[in-house]
Amino acid sequence: METNNRITILANFRIDSKERLSRMKDSFASFSNANIEAWILNIRGPFMDDAVSFFKLNVKQDLKIFKEDSKLGWKHDTKVISQYVNTTHVMVWVEDH
């Protein structure tokens, strides 16, 4: 029986400063070579476009980027984007990981 060891990265970031953007990039570098199948990312905040550009340049796997910022809150928005997870394993990546 074949097992699926690949993972999906699931994140809902508020990138509201250059410091958070920098920490996000450093964190990305620390695990981006793992056995990742897909990235499902929701990005909000004033530095959202910088973060989106970074991911589009650096992610080689399947990448889904959302810009959800509903009045129902980040938990609701995370639940909405999580429907795209199709692997057995998920890493919930928080922006200060």
What's the CA gap between 86 and 97, in Å, rounded?
A: 23
Gap between the Cα atoms of 21 and 86, Å rounded = 27
Which residues are paired to 40 by β-bridges?
Answer: 10, 64
With beta carbons less than 8 A apart as the criterion, state whether 31 and 1 touch. Answer: no
pLDDT classification of 5: cutoffs 50, 70, 90 = confident
pTM of the shown model: 0.88
52 pLDDT band (50/70/90 cuts)?
Answer: very high
Q: How confident is the model at residue 61 (pLDDT cuts 50, 70, 90)?
A: very high
Do the Cβ atoms of 60 and 36 come closer than 8 Å? no
Residue range 69-75: mean pLDDT, rounded: 91
Label residue 2 by pLDDT band (50, 70, 90). Answer: very low
